[in-house]
Structure 1
Amino acid sequence: MTDSTAPPASSVPDTPTLLAALQLAARAPSVHNTQPWRWEFDGTRLDLFRDDDRLLTAADPQGRQLVISCGAMLHHMRTALAARGWHTDTQRVPVPTRPDLLATITFRAWPDPPAGVMTRAQAIERRHTDRLPMTPPPRLGELVHTARMLASPHDVELDVLDDSARPLLAAASEHADANRRYDMDYQTELHWWAGHSGTNEGVPGTALASDAEAAHVPIARKFPSAAHSQRRGDIDDQAALLVLSSPGHTVSDWLHVGEALSAVLLECTSMGLATCALTHITELPAARESIHGALTRAGVPQVVLRVGAAPADTTEQPPTPRRPVNEILTVRDHPPSPAGGSHARSPDSDSTNVTMSRPGPL
């Protein structure tokens, strides 16, 4: 006897499509490249969970940056699936009694997604965090116009700060670092995640700045120094400063910020621009408040984004490592019961008050 409630096979991506999309989406940015997410697929729907084993307990005890990272992964995954012909209907934070469940995705065929979606999907593999000094971004007005359209469906506001705000943000950045300088838990955590090589996680030395390079980028998180000289010569950072702000300070807000951040980063990459997302300035309430005073739009500052151009003679940065798909995806043989019991397996290498968030462009 067949299960009459099961969707036809054509209503969900096949396994190779799902795995290929997830492998691409795993390039999503995350704080310290912790990759704090996991997915479960039951043959019908795809669930995104936060992985609290990867929570930065010193830097991010509330999990704000963790959830923003998961939001970026969610948008990357939806974009990767769209490029493969699948529309994703997304329920965000669907079950109040399951705080680790952040989103549930179901599928519809989408044979002709918009050109912008395809362009941003193609940018996923090229996007990386650039911590070096940048020159001013060309076509900034065009970028801001598009970025605001991409952020708006997530109820996220995008501000562009003028040059008068640079000293304010530099002071906020320095203040954030000064507050952490003698916090041994924070420093131990930072050094554990940054500067290593040969692993599938964390920030490798190739992605870090030397002391000489960092001296030219006053608005940046203080990472361990890398053994480089000045790869871009003796230039000061001239990146544009964008701020993403949410209406509130809830898990849902943070998730939407991550999705908006992903869309803006991919749009920047598709335009040939370099980017560096900063969340350390907004870790502390006092710093958030100081940034809020420089904004022209209402909201809670969540992410400061440096956007600029890398000099033409810059050596291309090698991609940062990512965990393999079989570490972040579990395939369930059956949908979970209310008690949570279901048989789960890793893929081969080959509730109440559920709310539907309004859809937005990818």
Structure 2
Amino acid sequence: MSASRTTVTTIRNALSAAGRAPSLHNIQPWRWVLDADELRLYLDRSRVLPSDRGGREAVIGCGAALDHLRVAIAAAGMNAIIERLPNPNNPDHLASIQFTPMSYVTDGHRLRAEAIWARHSDRLPLNPPSNWAAFEPVLRSRIKEYEVQLDVLPESARARLAQASQLTESLRLYDSAYHAELHRWAVPFASSEGIPYDALTSATETQRVDVGRRFPTPHHAERRAQISEDRSMVAVLSTTTDTRVDALAAGEELSAVLLECTMAGLSTCPLTHLTEVQVARDIVETLLGTVTLPQVLVRIGTAPVAEDIAPRTPRRPLDDVLTVLDG
């Protein structure tokens, strides 16, 4: 049975919110198909970057979009019933989703959905996260349904983590294909994809963030000069294996972490460059002290209160990523 016009509109609105999910260089590698009363999520292989061998990071982005969808649809009064990797013959078919009515929409559902539109990746230096001791138990209670390990690195690990971050840059210093990729997605003009220049850090700002990917540096006035060095804390999301299911789950938990932090007034920035180079990934694993595979890291901190709100990074039009099949 085909979904009603009202349901289709609700799903489209939720997919617009899902499109706000973070992805590597804002490539937005997801493709949605609405077929009767079922929504399907696919990895768009045409948007997997050459440096992302196997598409692991693209799948993480799709996982974040899947969780954003679940959050948005819940605020609209619907449960998302998700079957992950439903087709063993098509690993790019990441999920099939059906919807059922919810009995009640809480303020929590609405606030989390609103956080989707407030969240952005903050690459500038940050102050330490405020009230972390009180917030961390709340965060862990919210993400316990996700089968991904969350670790918070101690301050004593920061120097080694910064070394690993620098090591990734050194190993790629002469990788022309990688640098061409960065320049391709660091967008100096209006676009619905990629990272706009105002979201990148200048040379002096970059020097004050010791754990971060190095992008082409724009020329603009220095921001947050009052923060002499980044003092964010770093959380690591890890899995026990390295399958496509693990990458999808890591993306779903990444979404949950980012939205909970946003609701608490904290700024965040996902980091994947430390898991792209094996030697750096090994260092992060060593810092964790467990036999796990780091999938994505997140800087969490506090931005100055009086600062102007950053403009939203643009996204692709919904009709570019959604196909609606006739019933």
Taking structure 1 as the reference length, the TM-score comes to: 0.87
Instruction: Report how far residue 297 of structure 1 moved.
Output: 4.9
What is the letter of the counterpart of residue 163 of structure 2?
Answer: A
Output one character per residue of 1:327-361: Cα deviation in whole Å (capped at 9) or x when no partner.
01001124xxxxxxxxxxxxxxxxxxxxxxxxxxx
1:61 pairs with 2:61: no
User: Residue 22 in 1 paired to residue 34 in 2?
Assistant: no
Match of 1:303, SS state, is: strand
Whole-Å Cα distance in 2 between the matches of residues 313 and 13 of structure 1? 41
Would you say 1:242 and 2:245 are equivalent positions? no
Task: Tell me how large the CA RMSD over aligned residues is.
Answer: 1.5
Counterpart Cα distance in 2 of 1:144 and 1:92: 28
How far apart are the structure 2 equivalents of 1:19 and 1:282?
33
User: What residue in structure 1 maps to residue 144 of structure 2?
Assistant: 152
Deviation of 1:146 (Å): 2.5
The structural deviation recorded for 1:143 is 2.8
For each residue in 1:39-93, what CA deviation from the matched residue of structure 2 results, as whole angstroms up to 9, or x when unmatched?
Answer: 00012100000011111112x1111110000000000011111100110110111
Aligned to 2:118: 126
CA distance in 2, matches of 1:150, 1:195: 35
Q: Alpha-carbon deviation of 1:296?
A: 4.9
The equivalences for 1:160-199 within 5 A come to 160-199=152-191
State the 1:180 CA deviation: 1.4
Cα drift, residue 96 of structure 1: 1.0
Give the structure 2 partner of residue 219 of structure 1: 211
Q: Distance in 2 between matches of 1:261 and 1:117?
A: 18
Q: What is the number of equivalent residue pairs in this alignment?
A: 326
How far apart, CA to CA, are the structure 1 residues paired with 2:224 and 2:209? 12
Is the counterpart of residue 287 in structure 1 residue 304 in structure 2? no
1:174-208 C-alpha deviation (Å, 9 max, x unpaired) = 11111112111111111000132211000000100
Please list the CA deviations of residues 19-51 of structure 1 after superposition, one character each: whole Å capped at 9, or x if unmatched.
111112211111100000010001210000001
Q: Which runs of 5+ in 1 are unaligned?
A: 1-5, 335-362
Shifted more, 24-33 versus 137-146: the winner is: 137-146
Query: Does residue 1:277 correspond to 2:249, yes or no?
Result: no
Amino acid at match of 1:143: F
Checking the alignment, whether the CA contact within 8 Å between 1:28 and 1:262 is kept in structure 2 is yes
Structure 2 Cα separation of the partners of residues 164 and 131 of structure 1: 22
Between 1:111-120 and 1:231-240, the stretch displaced more is: 111-120
Q: Could you tell me which amino acid in structure 1 is paired with residue 147 of structure 2?
A: D
Q: Does 1:104 align with 2:96?
A: yes
- Whether the 8 Å contact between 1:147 and 1:158 is mirrored in structure 2 is no
Deviation at 1:309, TM superposition (A): 0.5
> 1:17 and 1:106 mapped to 2: Cα distance?
13
One-letter code aligned to 1:201: E
Letter in 2 for 1:23: S
Preserved CA contact (<8 Å) 1:151 1:157: no
Contact map agreement 1:159 1:296 (CA 8 A) in 2: no
Identical pairs, percent = 44
TM-score calculated relative to the size of structure 2: 0.96
Number of the residue aligned with 1:208: 200
Task: Please give the alpha-carbon distance, in whole angstroms, between the structure 2 residues aligned to 1:20 and 1:231.
Answer: 34
Deviation at 1:94, TM superposition (A): 0.9
Q: Distance in 1 between matches of 2:12 and 2:41?
A: 15
**Cα distance between partner residues in 2 of 1:30 and 1:259:** 12
Q: Distance in 2 between matches of 1:290 and 1:201?
A: 32
Determine the C-alpha separation between the residues in 2 that align with 1:148 and 1:245. Answer: 14
Paired AA for residue 50 in structure 1:
L
* Change in 2 beyond 3 A, CA 1:78/1:13: farther
* More off after superposition, 165-174 vs 150-159: 150-159
Match of 1:84 in 2: 76
Match for 1:82: what amino acid? A
